[in-house]
Amino acid sequence: MSALHIEAFPYKNIHLVAKPVLSTLSEEHQPWLCLNGALVDTLDDDVRALTKRWVHHWVWRGTDWEYTTPGYRHGPLLVPLNEALLDTYLATWAPMGMGPIVLGPANPDTLIAHLQNLRLISAADGNPAFFSLTALRQIEEMAEGLPAHRFSEVLGPIQGLIWQNGKGDTRQWLRADNPSSQTLAMRAENRFALDEAEEEALGQTSHWRFLRDAARQFTEQYPERIRPLGAEELARRLVMYAGEAVKLEMTNERDMRHFMRLRLIYPQRFFDRDEMLRATLGDLKSNARLRLSECELRLQHLTAQPS
């Protein structure tokens, strides 16, 4: 059975898989790691120590971004997977969200060229939108939100991506496969451009992913309170509370998550009957973060009072 947060907000076009095993991966395609150099300053040396030779590739080398701030070593690093790398990935890099395992062509030049051109993705208004395979949230949103043929264009010569999501007991291994077996690397002159409908779909998918992650966090923090609700009721409540947060002008994810947590763990009667709490929530001229802090103090006070 899948975790409660996934039952409440199921994945679309992404599958839960077992922990990666090199022998199994190698039977399909050439497995690579695509790692975010910005997260580990010593990544170059660490990878070379594990491979015992110079086989890794900084994807931004040889491009206009090579020496622009913050430099190519803060971009993605591509390296063919071996047992030592996989062990370190499983123990350290995957839990850090460093990037995915990439199943793709054996020729690194094909893969690097595609990733370099894919960085030039543009929004519907024509402005550039940064993209990298190491941005795992973007991968999830594109896999779930784009039409199959468009996600296939994003992956190009990549046949599959595998990464870890979640924390603690809710960690899951996820996989997104290329919907098409006839895949080509993207050419520089064919910049991938989102249209307005795709941007809207990605926005909706991003919100769905946010709700899923919030459900994961709350289930992990308050299991005795959340699990008895079941997946359907948990989803209903989080969707409702998110809608309430928007009406109260708590629109960024930090504030929305804070509000949803308060609604989940404190009794409904406080929100219905306590005038001070209601006044604080409804004071839209005040900063949302400040209102939430004051509300939490009020809720703690109410909880401490005799029934």
Residue 161's pLDDT band, with cuts at 50, 70 and 90, is very high
Greater pLDDT, 185 or 62: 62
Question: How many of the other CB atoms lie within 10 Å of CB of 5?
Answer: 26
Mean pLDDT of 139-151: 95
Place of tokens 């609604």: 263
- Report whether pLDDT(226) > 60: yes
What DSSP string runs through 34-103?
A: EEEGGG-TTHHHHHHHHHSS---EETTTTSTTSSSTT-GGGSEEEEE--HHHHHHIIIIITTTT---EEE
pLDDT in tens, 196-225: 999 999 999 999 999 999 999 999 999 999
Place of tokens 């994945």: 11
pLDDT score of 191: 76
DSSP H or E stretch at residue 164: strand 160-165
Residue 185's pLDDT band, with cuts at 50, 70 and 90, is low
Greater pLDDT, 254 or 2: 254
- Report whether pLDDT(266) > 70: yes
pLDDT in tens, 9-37: 999 999 999 999 999 998 878 999 999 99
Question: How many of the other CB atoms lie within 10 Å of CB of 20?
Answer: 19
Residue 93's pLDDT band, with cuts at 50, 70 and 90, is very high
- Report whether pLDDT(171) > 50: yes
The full set of domain ranges for the chain reads 4-194, 222-304
Greater pLDDT, 118 or 227: 227
- Nearest alpha-carbon partner for 98 in 142, 38, 54, 56: 38
- Report whether pLDDT(2) > 60: no
Place of tokens 């070379």: 48
What percentage of the chain reaches a pLDDT higher than 90? 79
Place of tokens 């699990």: 227
Mean pLDDT of 100-125: 91
Mean pLDDT of 125-144: 91
Mean pLDDT of 154-160: 94
pLDDT score of 238: 98
Phi and psi at residue 98, to the nearest 5°: -70, -25
Q: Compute the mean pLDDT over every residue in the chain, rounded to the nearest whole number.
A: 92
DSSP H or E stretch at residue 305: none
Residue 166's pLDDT band, with cuts at 50, 70 and 90, is confident
pLDDT score of 306: 80
pLDDT score of 184: 65
Greater pLDDT, 185 or 71: 71
Mean pLDDT of 63-76: 88
